[in-house]
């Protein structure tokens, strides 16, 4: 793509890891061959330069032209040609007083370059594909379990890890048990707000009575005249509730999923056989929720969906990410959270084998472990499984078994269940792979949840206080004595992956982050127009809960 505008020049430079003087950008943009000149300016700049200056550009202009495109470094040219194809999702801060920092390299350059002034000529936060990491100030950098010595992470405490706790055998009464537990815990969250009337005693209240009740959504149907009939179930039975189509709350019916827990208030019909609904309540996150933050400046990289073993795994992007973690700039990144799909797995989807680079699942984990060794040894790593990993598919998914742990042991990662609540320097991070996001996106209208704005689908899960409400659809739920998928405590950060799209925003002050992936578009994704956000690492400031997204492709 030609670099005809200044903003594209800035974006390209940012991707290459440079700030730029405004005048340097103008010089490049107005030249006959901006792409080449940009490339040359980068070449003449010293290795440790952070800013491309007018002098660099002039020196480049004075050099003999280098017409041979073969001389253009691959990574660099792909970064430059990639200009403008970055994700379009903008950070969303619904309900937040403090919008998420939009320091996304591509995002911020797009805005800033248009508004750049002499006083603020430079744009930061690029990474530098294809270049060796900046000088680390004489500190020896080694890979694979080595220690630079500057990081001092505290091993995160994990609540709700059900690894080794599974009691389910799949018997019918266990399904009854898990739903009873769900109902008890989520209705407990709603009890303070409504005066619950058990389903089997509503009728006896008599026509015209005010009714409040809490139940799991058992059925949602539209009536012949277009109203909504919602059947709620509690431990005593079911009761039909009618939402009239012309009420404001009819809009909320779109958000309902089967098996989620809600409360309604309304009026009993004259014949006492149905409740006319006036209000629908969700367990939800209080609007006044105030997240905790770390008491020092420390960061965490939130990633997922590495998919090692797939032909589309982006090994180069991963290495750039790992290299960057070894730089001084990344010294404060002390934690790496990986929300599932470490490997591509085997037999996950039809015809998946045609795109496998490594066909043996154990070999896939061996290779994944090698890539993990590229990550600095003094970082704390926490990982949960996803639907491509070698654990049971039904959720909650226990953490990897001993054999896989052994394979991945070099870095001594914490391997826990999906979902898990992880305490990182006082910030509680709910990690969940995200299979239910497919379901939320399929069931809800696009403005409430879509692949382009995956964080909005995450808001729905926070609102329902359950990571996978609907049972029996795409999401498989394992029967356990306890419903591990209920969100008991409000997390400070909610981290998911799975849909391979990058998106983040705040919901009632909780930061929802869906990390992208490290796998380029697969044939299947191409056939259904899924355009993955591959090679990005969202970096979270644990002391401010601000986010920066770094790009490594």
Binding site for Zn ion (CB under 5 A): 341, 386-387, 498
User: In the bound complex, what is the minimum distance in angstroms from residue 521's beta carbon to ligand D5M?
Assistant: 10
Instruction: Report in angstroms the alpha-carbon separations of 198 from 41, 189, 193, 241, 271.
Output: 73, 16, 15, 13, 18
Three-state DSSP at 190 gives helix
User: In the bound complex, what is the minimum distance in angstroms from residue 399's beta carbon to ligand D5M?
Assistant: 18
Of the two residues 362 and 524, which places its CB atom closer to ligand D5M in the complex? 524
Q: Which long-range contacts (CB under 8 A, 24 or more apart) does 444-450 make?
A: 444/254, 444/255, 445/254, 448/254, 448/255
User: In the bound complex, what is the minimum distance in angstroms from residue 550's beta carbon to Fe ion?
Assistant: 20
Of the two residues 40 and 341, which places its CB atom closer to Fe ion in the complex? 341
User: In the bound complex, what is the minimum distance in angstroms from residue 206's beta carbon to ligand D5M?
Assistant: 49
As a 3-state breakdown, the chain gives helix, strand, coil percent values, each rounded to 5, of: 30, 20, 50
- Longest Cα–Cα distance in the chain: 92
Dihedral (CA of 191, 433, 129, 107) sign:
negative
Instruction: Choose the one of Fe ion, ligand D5M, Zn ion, none that binds residue 399, judging by a C-beta under 5 to 8 angstroms depending on kind.
Output: none
Question: Residue number with the shortest CB distance to Zn ion?
Answer: 498
What DSSP string runs through 430-473?
EE---HHHHHHHHHS-TTT-BTTBHHHHHHHHHHHTBSS-S-SS
Of the two residues 205 and 530, which places its CB atom closer to Fe ion in the complex? 530
Of the two residues 24 and 338, which places its CB atom closer to Fe ion in the complex? 338
Of the two residues 425 and 533, which places its CB atom closer to Fe ion in the complex? 533
Of the two residues 199 and 467, which places its CB atom closer to Zn ion in the complex? 467
Count CA atoms closer than 13 A to 173's CA, side-chain side. 0
Instruction: Report in angstroms the alpha-carbon separations of 139 from 89, 142, 203, 326, 333.
Output: 38, 10, 75, 10, 16
Instruction: Choose the one of Fe ion, Zn ion, ligand D5M, none that binds residue 362, judging by a C-beta under 5 to 8 angstroms depending on kind.
Output: none
User: Which residue's entry shows tokens 């006492």?
Assistant: 272
User: In the bound complex, what is the minimum distance in angstroms from residue 530's beta carbon to ligand D5M?
Assistant: 5
- What angle, 0 to 180 degrees and rounded to 10, lies between the N-to-C axes of helices 6-15 and 105-115? 140
Three-state DSSP at 56 gives helix
Question: What gap in Å lies between CA 511 and CA 547, rounded to an integer?
Answer: 9
User: In the bound complex, what is the minimum distance in angstroms from residue 18's beta carbon to Zn ion?
Assistant: 35
Of the two residues 509 and 515, which places its CB atom closer to Fe ion in the complex? 515
Instruction: Choose the one of ligand D5M, Fe ion, Zn ion, none that binds residue 121, judging by a C-beta under 5 to 8 angstroms depending on kind.
Output: none
User: In the bound complex, what is the minimum distance in angstroms from residue 533's beta carbon to ligand D5M?
Assistant: 11
Instruction: Choose the one of ligand D5M, Fe ion, Zn ion, none that binds residue 349, judging by a C-beta under 5 to 8 angstroms depending on kind.
Output: ligand D5M
User: In the bound complex, what is the minimum distance in angstroms from residue 310's beta carbon to Zn ion?
Assistant: 12
Dihedral (CA of 374, 501, 39, 45) sign:
negative
Of the two residues 72 and 517, which places its CB atom closer to Zn ion in the complex? 517
User: In the bound complex, what is the minimum distance in angstroms from residue 305's beta carbon to ligand D5M?
Assistant: 5
The residues binding ligand D5M (CB under 6 A) are 305, 341, 349, 387-388, 438, 498-500, 524-525, 530
Question: Residue number with the shortest CB distance to ligand D5M?
Answer: 349
Instruction: Choose the one of Zn ion, Fe ion, ligand D5M, none that binds residue 464, judging by a C-beta under 5 to 8 angstroms depending on kind.
Output: none
Tokens coding 362? 């154990």
Instruction: Choose the one of Zn ion, ligand D5M, Fe ion, none that binds residue 269, judging by a C-beta under 5 to 8 angstroms depending on kind.
Output: none
Of the two residues 349 and 362, which places its CB atom closer to ligand D5M in the complex? 349
Phi, psi of 495 (to 5 degrees): -120, 120
Of the two residues 260 and 305, which places its CB atom closer to Fe ion in the complex? 305
Instruction: Choose the one of Zn ion, Fe ion, ligand D5M, none that binds residue 319, judging by a C-beta under 5 to 8 angstroms depending on kind.
Output: none
Question: What gap in Å lies between CA 48 and CA 135, rounded to an integer?
Answer: 7
The residues binding Fe ion (CB under 5 A) are 305, 341
Instruction: Choose the one of ligand D5M, Zn ion, Fe ion, none that binds residue 345, judging by a C-beta under 5 to 8 angstroms depending on kind.
Output: none
3-state secondary structure 84-134: CCCCCCCCECCCCCCCCCCCCHHHHHHHHHHHCECCECCCCCCCCCCCCCC
User: In the bound complex, what is the minimum distance in angstroms from residue 354's beta carbon to ligand D5M?
Assistant: 12
């Amino acid at each position: 793509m030609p670099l005809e505008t200044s903003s594209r020049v800035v974006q390209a430079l940012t991707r290459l890891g440079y700030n730029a003087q405004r005048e340097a950008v103008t010089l490049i943009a107005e030249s006959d061959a901006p792409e080449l000149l940009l490339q040359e300016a980068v070449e003449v700049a010293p290795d440790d330069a952070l800013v491309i200056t007018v002098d660099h550009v002039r020196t480049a202009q004075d050099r003999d032209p280098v017409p041979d495109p073969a001389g253009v470094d691959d990574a660099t040219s792909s970064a430059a040609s990639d200009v403008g194809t970055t994700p379009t999702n903008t950070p969303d801060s619904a309900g937040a007083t403090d919008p998420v920092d939009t320091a996304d390299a591509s995002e911020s350059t797009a805005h800033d370059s248009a508004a750049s002034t002499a006083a603020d000529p430079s744009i930061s936060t690029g990474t530098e594909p294809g270049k060796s990491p900046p000088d680390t100030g004489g500190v020896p950098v080694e890979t694979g379990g080595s220690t630079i010595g500057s990081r001092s992470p505290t091993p995160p405490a994990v609540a709700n890890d059900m690894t080794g706790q599974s009691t389910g055998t799949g018997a019918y009464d266990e399904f009854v048990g898990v739903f009873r537990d769900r109902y008890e815990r989520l209705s407990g969250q709603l009890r303070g707000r409504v005066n619950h009337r058990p389903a089997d005693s509503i009728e006896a209240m008599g026509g015209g009575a005010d009714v409040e009740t809490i139940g799991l959504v058992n059925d949602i149907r539209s009536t012949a005249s277009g109203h909504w009939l919602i059947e709620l179930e509690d431990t005593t039975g079911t009761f039909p509730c009618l939402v009239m189509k012309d009420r404001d709350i009819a809009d909320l019916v779109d958000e309902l999923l089967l098996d989620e827990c809600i409360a309604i208030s309304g009026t009993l019909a004259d014949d006492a056989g149905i409740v006319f609904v006036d209000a629908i309540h969700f367990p939800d996150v209080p609007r006044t929720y105030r997240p905790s933050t770390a008491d020092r400046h420390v960061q965490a990289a939130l990633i997922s969906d590495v998919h090692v073993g797939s032909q589309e795994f982006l090994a180069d992007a991963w290495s750039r990410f790992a290299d960057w973690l070894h730089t001084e700039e990344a010294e404060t990144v002390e934690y790496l959270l990986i929300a599932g799909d470490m490997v591509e797995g085997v037999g996950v989807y039809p015809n998946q084998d045609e795109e496998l680079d490594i066909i043996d699942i154990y070999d896939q984990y061996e290779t994944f472990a090698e890539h993990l060794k590229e990550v600095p040894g003094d970082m704390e790593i926490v990982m949960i499984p996803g639907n491509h990993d070698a654990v049971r598919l039904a959720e909650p998914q226990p953490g990897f078994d001993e054999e896989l742990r052994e394979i991945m042991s070099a870095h001594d990662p914490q391997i826990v269940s999906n979902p898990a609540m992880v305490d990182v320097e006082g910030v509680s991070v709910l990690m969940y792979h995200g299979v239910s996001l497919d379901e939320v996106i399929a069931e809800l209208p696009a403005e409430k949840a879509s692949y382009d704005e995956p964080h909005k689908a995450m808001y729905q899960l926070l609102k329902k206080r359950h990571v996978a409400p609907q049972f029996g659809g795409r999401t498989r739920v394992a029967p356990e004595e306890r419903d591990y998928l209920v969100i008991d405590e409000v997390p400070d950060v909610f981290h998911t992956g799975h849909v391979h799209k990058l998106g983040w925003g705040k919901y009632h002050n909780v930061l929802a982050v869906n990390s992208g992936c490290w796998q380029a578009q697969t044939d299947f994704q191409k056939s259904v127009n899924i355009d993955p956000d591959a090679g990005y690492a969202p970096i979270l400031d644990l002391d401010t809960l601000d986010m920066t997204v770094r790009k490594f492709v």
